[in-house]
Amino acid sequence: MNKPYRYTKNKTSFAHFWEKGVGKELLRKIGGAPALTDADQFTHLLFAWDKDADQAVIDIYLKKGFKEGNQSLLNHINASLYADDNCREIWKKFFRNVPITPEWLDKEKLNLGSEFCRRAGLSGLIVLRDYCLMGGYESAAINKPLIFTGALKKGAVKRLTDTVEFWVQITKEKGLEIGSEGLNQVFLTRMIHSYSRINILQHTDWDSRKWGIPINTWDMLATNLGFSLIFMTGLRLIGIKPNQKEIEGLFHFWKYIGYLLGIPLELLPNTEEEAIRAFYLWSMTQLDADEDSRALANALREEPVLAHYPKSPLYRKMMREVHLFYNHYLLGEYSCKQLRLPKTTIGRFGIVNFWKAKKQEAKIIDEGTRQKAIREGGMEQEQVRQIYQEYNS
């Protein structure tokens, strides 16, 4: 199979991450950098995609419309009664390939993973936004579907609102049980991916020879690693350090989410070491950031100003500066320069949040204090979710 234009040795941000940044410490855990030629075995994943979900979208969404398609999906997941027997058979066929409770699922590990996500509290959402999401723009290729679907024109406010909603709902206690909003969010997201992919391929001049298939399997895996490995790496940078059981739980949690989203099970890591290797091979074969990357980064940078909370325009500008500080603190000066994110002086008082996180981390000395941190962190994240829903949805 021919390698697409996007498949090339990275020489900027990701290379810097592994050679001079925090990635150096990650590579020590696996005994050094894997041979980059090992990535060749994964290039076919750039042309692989979620065919099961695409078929469901073709059979239901393209005939009934997006809103009706979503309602049909939710009716099936939550065992509601509805008249269209044809849809029922389509969904039965789809879910035969993705049992919601697979035999390998470990509920204890799943709970530990979601608990760690919650106990990170506000700091967890900061890391998601200013490290995982912003850092993802350092790849030109993975973000091209956002350009082709018009997400840049729609602005970052909606995307961030949707991301916070997804995160908080799936990480809630019992957030992935049948009937939960979290489980609904996972499958709705899977259908959005397929709906977007089909529309990009049918209605735009997308060049698969250049970029691979939009929202392809390898990029989906990379996104999954962003929520697990990179999230955990960012938390460690600000002093939040998971114990071994939490680490195992976090990767099991995102293995399950990835599986529900249509990523082949054999690709999803069970351990931090497997995740490091997988992320290295993907990231080091990424095309450098381009002007689209920088436009997306700038849109996220301006998101606080364009949002509707806080109500004061001055406070919203202050929030922009604080997030810029977090970008520089977490991503480092080299990456911020690649994305053309300016330095800030005003936003430096945001460091107080990290001091608070370290202080709270030091209080976790037993299971009781860990559970207290989980409750308080979950409440912080829920409050942020409610603000986004009230003011920005």
Q: Is 225 a member of any domain?
A: yes
Amino acid 86: pLDDT: 81
Amino acid 359: pLDDT: 96
Q: How many domains does the chain have?
A: 1
Contacts of 40 (CB under 8 A, 6+ apart): 3
Amino acid 82: pLDDT: 57
Query: Whole domain around residue 161: which residue ranges?
Result: 103-261+289-392
Q: Is 191 a member of any domain?
A: yes
Question: Measured between alpha carbons, how far is 240 from 116 in angstroms, rounded to an integer?
Answer: 10
Question: Measured between alpha carbons, how far is 115 from 16 in angstroms, rounded to an integer?
Answer: 32
Q: Is 125 a member of any domain?
A: yes
pLDDT in tens, 298-332: 999 999 999 999 999 999 999 999 999 999 999 99
Amino acid 80: pLDDT: 60
pLDDT < 50: residue spans in the chain: 83
Q: Amino acid letter at 326?
A: Y
Q: Is 35 a member of any domain?
A: no
- Degrees, nearest 5: CA angle 355-361-362: 95
Contact (Cβ atoms closer than 8 angstroms) between residue 389 and residue 166? no
SS3 state at 118: helix
Q: Is 189 a member of any domain?
A: yes
CA 89 to chain centre: 31
Q: Is 257 a member of any domain?
A: yes
In what helix (H) or strand (E) does residue 314 lie, and over which residues does it extend?
helix 313-331
Amino acid 195: pLDDT: 98
Q: Is 280 a member of any domain?
A: no
Q: Is 166 a member of any domain?
A: yes
